[in-house]
């Protein structure tokens, strides 16, 4: 039943999109100054249809309707309800449906909420947005239909990959999709702005909330994915420069650049074309990321069952989108020639943009180079953390410095400031204290440490100063503080992390650094959809005399048959103790990986702080507008 | 100027898309199977105990050589070890163990505990030399003849079937 509902509502949505495209195409050229009320009505019905199809799929997953191929392939009656629901987007078809849902939802919200009254701008945005919707709907219906039927109806499904049965991972894709797909709206708006020639201030006002929202979700989505990798993949790392992680980071860089350049744009001091380019680039990067993940040209934990026709479709879409954007840009973009004073806020924001674009370039090259090399020469290489650390780390120093001093300069002024002040002295003292505790010898790492401390102190000082003046730019302060803390804690974590691999039999004791690890017991359990072997370990610290009980697990899932290794993490405020075990078949020896990871919670917290700044800015805007 | 930019940007993107299109047809699974039948490269590897080096050219003196890449931290290596001990009893087969990214004392303990099947022991502390042999995970074992040609390549722990196969090849 739900199959029919799903299928038909998608078809209706498709027809409505086609109608909207024709209507908006003709209305954009008409003399009428007001927006036809029918747009709101049709878009509402379209949104409703898309939501019905999504709810149908979720229902099929909840009731385990195995007449649906997608449900059969990715679910199982024994799965807990939460993972049945999450299973909806844990596969190619369902996630594409979710993607379209967000696309439609954003396009209707833009139409309903946007205060900009330029009729042509609104209609053209809707036109481009509906072209995107149609292309993805056709792709969904023709190639990846989530409502394909199966007959005879099987009694049981094949199950969801157990590595995906995790609360963090259940919410990771929807968060990232809001970020990815949310950028479509300012892609469409940017093209519409060029053609309808709206001024820079209205462009900035129209796209800013969408940039903030998508940036916020992108940041939180990356954070949740990173937390998942930390405790589920069992390697104890939180960022691997995996090509697919990179594909979520690339749009993030452009969004961050865009977020900052909009500040210049809304003050009518230039960057019109640049904001347009960034808006187009963000969505291009999102689609490129989708292409890399879905086409299967990259090997990674994220690889969906790959199918060359999917890759071809997304690539064709990408080509169409990029060349159309290039055409519109070169035909309509206005000529700009602004001169900026060196010591003005705009200069610092432009510098921020160049850094973000540089980071984007480095990550893009690192991700695509192996693919290109393989295609052209046939040789296989992999680009890993050493490349990124080597190239990105030195550039963090000037970036941190610009983030520290930039915000205190004024718009359109050329006032120089003395670099020597109270905050700098305080930062040097704090740095020296940290340095004597850490005793790191690398010059580069020490510079990064110093500048992250400088940024933190300066931002806190700014907060105090602006609090006195009752004029607080709280979102900037929180985000910059979050970034400074992030770099600081990554540094501390990097220096004090401890890792040791060894083999142990039941009852044996291993001494390493200041720790004594005792393998006390082995327990077997049978749980709903898996069997598990749980090791009981006692870890005592010789220095602090603290002792912890850790229970890493080896899980054997039966639907489908997969072994996963569950890390046991004893997390307290300042440090995580991380233990994984894996069995060595036909022996009674277990391979143990023991790690001490300091300040992990602080790393997560810093990213939350960073994203919080974005969402605060969003609410502040709305408040200002209503006042 | 605008016209030139337009052309440059278009050409640049076209090139990227052509490569991306071609990359769709790439073989996704990294495979070193095609190394079989080729000669191993001439590489110098540090010896395990002493400061000397082992040159792969020296293998021309042996009728057959087994190159086994192992580490004490590698769980499957422990499993395959008894099979290596079995192989070490074959007279016309020289056993070369290459200790991969390992701690010296741990590696010694491992051999003391499980026996030392190797005639020559070398180490690849950073894992960089092993790349020359197409190693991407351990354990891996390569069987070569006196002309340094790779006869067989085993990825993962050697099992009894592999041992029998090696025996057959060496006996001929």
Question: Which DSSP letter does residue B33 get?
Answer: G
d(CA A603, CA A148): 43
**Angle at alpha carbon of residue A143, lines to A142 and A147, rounded to 5°:** 75
Contacts of B2 in chain A (CB under 8 A): 330
Q: What is the structure's pLDDT at A320?
A: 93
Q: Are A463 and A472 in contact (CB under 8 A)?
A: yes
pLDDT digit string (tens) for A115-154?
Answer: 666 888 888 999 999 999 999 999 999 888 899 888 888 8
Q: Which two tokens stand for residue A235?
A: 């390697």
Mean pLDDT estimate for chain A: 85
Contact between chains at A322 and B20 (C-beta distance less than 8 A): no
User: According to the per-residue pLDDT averaged within each range, which of A521-530, A584-593, B85-94 is highest?
Assistant: B85-94
What Cα–Cα distance (Å) separates residue A317 from each residue in A134, A176, A287, A399?
Answer: 11, 20, 9, 35
Say what angle helices A272-295 and A345-377 make with each other, to 10 degrees. 30
Look up tokens 């005592």; give the residue: A540
Q: Which two tokens stand for residue A570?
A: 């004893």
Q: What is the structure's pLDDT at B31?
A: 60
Contact between chains at A591 and B28 (C-beta distance less than 8 A): no
Query: So where are chain A's domains?
Result: 1-165, 184-417, 498-601
Q: Is the preceding omega at residue B139 within 30 degrees of 0, hence cis? A: yes
- In CATH, which superfamily holds the domain spanning B30-171? Glutaredoxin (3.40.30.10)
Helix (H) or strand (E) holding A578: strand A575-583
Q: What residues of B are in the A interface, CB distance below 8 Å?
A: 2, 5-6, 9-10, 13, 17, 19-26, 28, 30, 72-73, 75-76, 78-79, 106
Look up tokens 């067989």; give the residue: B152
Q: Which of A130, A184, A141, A185 is nearest to A18 (CA)?
A: A130
Asked if residue A597 has pLDDT above 50, the reply is yes
Helix-strand-coil split of chain A, %, nearest 5: 65, 10, 25
**φ and ψ at B100, to 5 degrees?**
-105, 120
pLDDT digit string (tens) for A538-569?
Answer: 988 888 888 888 898 888 877 667 778 888 88
How far is B155 from chain A, CA to nearest CA, in Å? Answer: 17
**φ and ψ at B141, to 5 degrees?**
-130, 135
Mean pLDDT estimate for chain B: 85
Split at pLDDT 50, 70, 90, the class of A627 is very low
Contacts of B76 in chain A (CB under 8 A): 584
Split at pLDDT 50, 70, 90, the class of A609 is very high
pLDDT digit string (tens) for A28-52?
Answer: 777 777 777 888 899 999 999 999 9
- CB pairs < 8 Å spanning A and B: 70
Q: Are A520 and B95 in contact (CB under 8 A)?
A: no
Q: Which two tokens stand for residue B127?
A: 């894992």
Say what the alpha-carbon torsion angle A254, A260, A262, A267 is, to the nearest 10 degrees. Answer: -160
Q: What is the structure's pLDDT at A270?
A: 75
Chain-centroid distance, C-alpha A319: 23
Q: Mean pLDDT throughout A503-527? A: 85
Q: Mean pLDDT throughout A349-368? A: 91
- ipTM tops 0.85: no
Say what the alpha-carbon torsion angle A268, A272, A276, A282 is, to the nearest 10 degrees. Answer: -60
Which long-range CB contacts under 8 A does A313-318 form with residues at least 24 apart? A313/A139, A313/A143, A314/A139, A314/A287, A314/A290, A315/A291, A315/B17, A315/B20, A315/B21, A315/B24, A317/A135, A317/A139, A317/A287, A318/A284, A318/A287, A318/A288, A318/A291, A318/B17
Split at pLDDT 50, 70, 90, the class of A114 is confident
How far is B62 from chain A, CA to nearest CA, in Å? Answer: 32
* A358-384: b (≥16 Cβ within 10 Å) or e: ebbebbbebbbebbbebbeeeeeeebe
pLDDT digit string (tens) for A248-288?
Answer: 899 999 999 999 998 888 877 678 888 999 999 999 999 99
Question: Could you tell me whether strands A589-598 and B64-70 are parallel, antiparallel, or unpaired per DSSP bridges?
Answer: unpaired
Query: So where are chain B's domains?
Result: 30-171
CB atoms within 10 A of CB A149: 12
Q: How far apart are the first and last CA of chain B?
A: 73
d(CA A229, CA A586): 29
Residue in chain A lying closest to B131 (CA):
A381
Say what the alpha-carbon torsion angle A203, A208, A214, A215 is, to the nearest 10 degrees. Answer: 120
Q: pTM higher than 0.90, yes or no?
A: no
d(CA A559, CA A164): 13
Contacts of A306 in chain B (CB under 8 A): 28
Q: For residue B121, give the 3-state DSSP assignment.
A: strand
What Cα–Cα distance (Å) separates residue A186 from each residue in A110, A448, B153?
Answer: 10, 34, 54
Q: Are A89 and A181 in contact (CB under 8 A)?
A: no
Contact between chains at B20 and A315 (C-beta distance less than 8 A): yes
Split at pLDDT 50, 70, 90, the class of A621 is low
Contacts of A234 in chain B (CB under 8 A): none
């Amino acid at each position: 039943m739900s199959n029919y509902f799903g299928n038909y509502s998608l078809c209706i949505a498709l027809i409505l999109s086609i109608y909207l495209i024709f209507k908006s195409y003709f209305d954009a050229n008409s003399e009428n100054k007001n927006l036809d009320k029918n747009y709101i009505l049709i878009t509402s019905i379209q949104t409703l249809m898309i939501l019905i199809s999504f709810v149908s799929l979720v229902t099929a997953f909840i009731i385990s309707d195995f007449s649906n191929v997608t449900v059969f392939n990715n679910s199982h009656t024994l799965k807990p309800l939460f993972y049945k629901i999450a299973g909806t987007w844990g596969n190619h078809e369902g996630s594409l449906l979710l993607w379209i849902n967000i696309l439609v939802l954003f396009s209707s919200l833009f139409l309903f909420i946007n205060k900009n009254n330029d009729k042509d701008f609104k209609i053209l945005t809707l036109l481009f947005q509906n072209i995107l919707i149609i292309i993805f709907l056709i792709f969904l219906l023709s190639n990846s239909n989530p409502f394909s039927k199966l007959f005879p109806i099987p009694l049981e499904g094949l199950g969801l990959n157990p590595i995906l049965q995790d609360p963090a991972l259940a919410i990771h894709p929807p968060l990232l999709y809001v970020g990815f797909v949310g950028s479509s709206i300012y892609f469409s708006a940017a093209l519409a702005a060029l053609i309808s020639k709206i001024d820079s201030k209205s462009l900035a006002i129209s796209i800013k909330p969408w940039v903030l929202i998508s940036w916020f979700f992108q940041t939180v989505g990356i954070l949740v994915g990173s937390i998942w990798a930390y405790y589920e993949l069992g390697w104890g790392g939180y960022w691997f420069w995996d090509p697919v992680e990179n594909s979520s980071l690339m749009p993030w860089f452009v969004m961050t650049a865009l977020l900052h350049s909009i500040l210049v744009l809304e003050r009518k001091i230039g960057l019109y074309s640049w904001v347009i380019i960034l808006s187009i680039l963000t969505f291009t990067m999102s689609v490129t990321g989708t292409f890399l993940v879905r086409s299967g040209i990259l090997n990674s934990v994220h690889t969906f069952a790959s199918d060359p026709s999917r890759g071809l479709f997304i690539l064709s879409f990408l080509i169409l989108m990029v060349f159309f954007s290039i055409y519109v840009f070169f035909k309509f973009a206005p000529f700009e020639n602004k001169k900026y004073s060196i010591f003005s806020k705009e200069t610092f924001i432009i510098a921020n943009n160049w850094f973000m674009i540089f980071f984007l370039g480095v990550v893009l090259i690192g991700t695509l180079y192996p693919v290109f090399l393989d295609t052209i020469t046939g040789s296989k290489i992999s680009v890993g953390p050493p490349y990124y650390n080597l190239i990105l780390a030195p550039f963090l120093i000037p970036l941190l410095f610009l983030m520290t001093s930039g915000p205190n300069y004024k718009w359109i002024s050329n006032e120089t400031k003395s670099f020597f002040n109270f905050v700098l002295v305080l930062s040097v003292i704090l740095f020296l204290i940290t340095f004597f505790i850490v005793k790191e010898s690398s010059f580069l790492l020490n510079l990064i440490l110093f500048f992250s401390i400088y940024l933190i102190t300066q931002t806190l000082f700014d907060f105090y100063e602006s609090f006195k003046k009752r004029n607080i730019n709280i979102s900037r302060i929180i985000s910059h503080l979050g970034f400074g803390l992030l770099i600081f804690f990554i540094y501390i974590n990097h220096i004090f992390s401890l890792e040791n691999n060894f083999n142990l039999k039941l009852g044996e004791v291993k001494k390493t650094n200041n720790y004594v690890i005792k393998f006390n017991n082995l327990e077997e359990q049978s749980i709903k959809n898996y069997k598990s072997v749980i090791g009981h370990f006692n870890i005592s610290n010789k220095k602090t005399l603290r002792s912890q009980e850790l229970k890493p697990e080896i899980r054997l899932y039966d639907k489908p048959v997969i072994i996963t290794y569950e890390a046991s993490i004893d997390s307290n405020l300042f440090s995580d103790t991380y233990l994984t075990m894996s069995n060595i078949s036909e022996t009674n020896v277990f391979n143990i990986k023991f790690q001490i990871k300091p300040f992990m919670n602080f790393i997560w917290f810093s990213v939350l702080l960073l994203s919080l700044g974005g969402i605060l800015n969003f609410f502040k805007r709305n408040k200002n507008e209503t006042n | 100027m605008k016209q030139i930019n337009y052309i440059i940007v278009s050409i640049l993107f076209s090139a990227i898309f052509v490569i991306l299109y071609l990359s769709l047809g790439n073989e996704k699974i990294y495979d070193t199977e095609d190394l079989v039948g080729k000669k191993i490269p001439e590489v110098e590897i540090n010896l395990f105990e002493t400061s000397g080096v082992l040159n792969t050219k020296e293998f021309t003196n042996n009728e057959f050589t087994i190159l086994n890449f192992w580490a004490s931290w590698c769980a499957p290596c422990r499993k395959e070890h008894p099979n290596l001990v079995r192989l070490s009893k074959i007279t016309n087969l020289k056993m070369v163990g290459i200790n991969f990214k390992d701690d010296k004392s741990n590696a010694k303990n491992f051999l003391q505990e499980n026996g030392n099947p190797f005639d020559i022991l070398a180490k690849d502390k950073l894992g960089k030399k092993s790349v020359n042999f197409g190693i991407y995970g351990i354990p891996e074992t390569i069987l070569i003849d006196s002309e340094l040609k790779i006869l067989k390549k085993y990825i993962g722990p050697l099992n009894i079937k592999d041992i029998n196969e090696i025996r057959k090849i060496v006996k001929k």
